[in-house]
Amino acid sequence: MITLGEYIVKTQSEHPSATGELTSLLSSIRRAAKIVNREINRAGLVTDIIGGSNGSENVQGEVQQKLDVFANDKFKAALEARGEVCGIASEEEDYFVCFDSAKRSDAKYVVLMDPLDGSSNIDVNVSVGTIFSIYRRVSEPGTPVVMEDFLQPGVNQVAAGYVVYGSSTMLVYTTGNGVHGFTYDPSLGSFCLSHENIRIPEEGKIYSINEGNYIKFPEGVKKYLKYCQEQDETTKRPYTSRYIGSLVSDFHRNMLKGGIYIYPSGTSAPNGKLRLLYECNPLAFLAEQAGGKASDGFQRIMEIKPTELHQRTPYFVGSTAMVEKAESFMTKFSSPAK
């Protein structure tokens, strides 16, 4: 049985130019994920963690759960503890965080993250997750990080991944050489390789969308949903609707089984709800590395040049054939969000 640490070292040895810094960074994420996993599994017993809101909101105006803040603090501390990361951006932080010691200012990487996606589901024991994205800084090493280090298009990512905390806890990541999944074995205290070289089926039978917002959807999305629901033996429709409401969980299921996840514009968020930098880009990187596709309905997600740290975007991600079919409906019936 190969552990995550062993696998990272093994793959590093296959690249003679590797310095070990990215390996160390991923080890920091692994360590923080173990701590967060422990608290999630104890949440029903720990009154200072469970119980909904901590009484504050994040920069997006969303109510912060107690575990949101806990997870953010643990990942931030783990990443600052080593010298590979000079700054982070998080859903739970209004602005980016600069690790300003002399040692950190020489670091090469910045990390963007959603520390606990789907945290409102904690109280009802529904799967949640962590999403992370890693970039090389563009500013001069030895100086404090600047906004431009974070406002990079997704094509510049050097690594990305997520942790899904569910019936089992899995860490899934890519460094641009395929997608690999590791399941946490609590008896060993280790993430062990369970899904090597994950591939998204070209075609799927699952569509994931909050249909409660149907009346506000763009016409292209409405037409695509009708297509998914129509009877057709040739294309094996109707498809099955599956929506957990936790992005990581919905994405993880569709990546393994085949399907499409959609969060369009035209809901309560005119530009979509999901954040480009620390939700859409990292999952897009994973999807493409697994043979899938990610789009805003009209263009490749990872080619969008961000202009804001917490920028939102419509999102279509999953099996390539399904995303392309949805795009064809968007092109025919809708206009790009402005």
- Specify whether 243 is located in the same domain as 173: no
Give me the CATH number covering residue 293.
3.40.190.80
Looking at every residue in the chain, the average pLDDT score rounds to 89
User: 177: burial class by Cβ within 10 Å (0-12, 13-18, 19+)?
Assistant: exposed
Where in the sequence is the domain holding 213, given as residue range(s)? 206-333
Percent of the chain surpassing pLDDT 70: 89
**Domain boundary, last residue among 159, 174, 195:** 195
Model-level pTM? 0.93
Would you say 79 is a known binding-site residue? no
Residue bearing the bigger pLDDT, 43 or 229: 229
Q: How many CB atoms lie within 10 A of CB 212?
A: 9
Would you say 119 is a known binding-site residue? yes
Pairing of strands 128-136, 293-295: unpaired
**Domain boundary, last residue among 176, 195, 214:** 195
CA dihedral 131, 216, 53, 119 (to 10 degrees): -30
Per DSSP, the residues of 12-51 read HHT-TT--SHHHHHHHHHHHHHHHHHHHHHTGGG-TTTSS
At residue 8, the pLDDT reads 86
263 domain-assigned:
yes
Q: HSE of 313 in the Cβ direction (CA atoms, 13 Å)?
A: 29
Would you say 324 is a known binding-site residue? no
Residue bearing the bigger pLDDT, 127 or 20: 127
pLDDT of 175 above 70: yes
At residue 20, the pLDDT reads 77
- Specify whether 188 is located in the same domain as 249: no
Give the chain's domain count: 2
69 domain-assigned:
yes
201 domain-assigned:
no
133-157 pLDDT, tens digit per residue, is 999 999 998 888 999 999 999 999 9
Would you say 181 is a known binding-site residue? no
Give me the CATH number covering residue 75.
3.30.540.10
Residue 4 Cα distances to 7, 192, 200, angstroms: 5, 6, 22
The DSSP secondary-structure symbol of 290 reads T
Q: Are 225 and 214 in contact (CB under 8 A)?
A: yes
Would you say 116 is a known binding-site residue? yes
60 domain-assigned:
yes
Would you say 114 is a known binding-site residue? yes
> Residue 144: is the preceding peptide bond cis (ω within 30°)?
no
Pick from 75-84, 262-271, 275-284: least confident = 262-271
How far apart are alpha carbons 62 and 120 in whole angstroms? 11
Residue bearing the bigger pLDDT, 333 or 55: 333
- Specify whether 131 is located in the same domain as 248: no
Would you say 273 is a known binding-site residue? yes
pLDDT of 162 above 90: yes
φ and ψ at 9, to 5 degrees?
-65, -40
- Specify whether 169 is located in the same domain as 225: no
At residue 120, the pLDDT reads 78
Would you say 279 is a known binding-site residue? yes
How far apart are alpha carbons 258 and 226 in whole angstroms? 19
- Specify whether 101 is located in the same domain as 214: no
* Residue type at 22 in one-letter notation: L
- Specify whether 20 is located in the same domain as 149: yes
51-95 pLDDT, tens digit per residue, is 455 555 556 656 667 888 999 999 999 999 888 899 999 999 999
Would you say 120 is a known binding-site residue? yes
Q: How many CB atoms lie within 10 A of CB 270?
A: 13
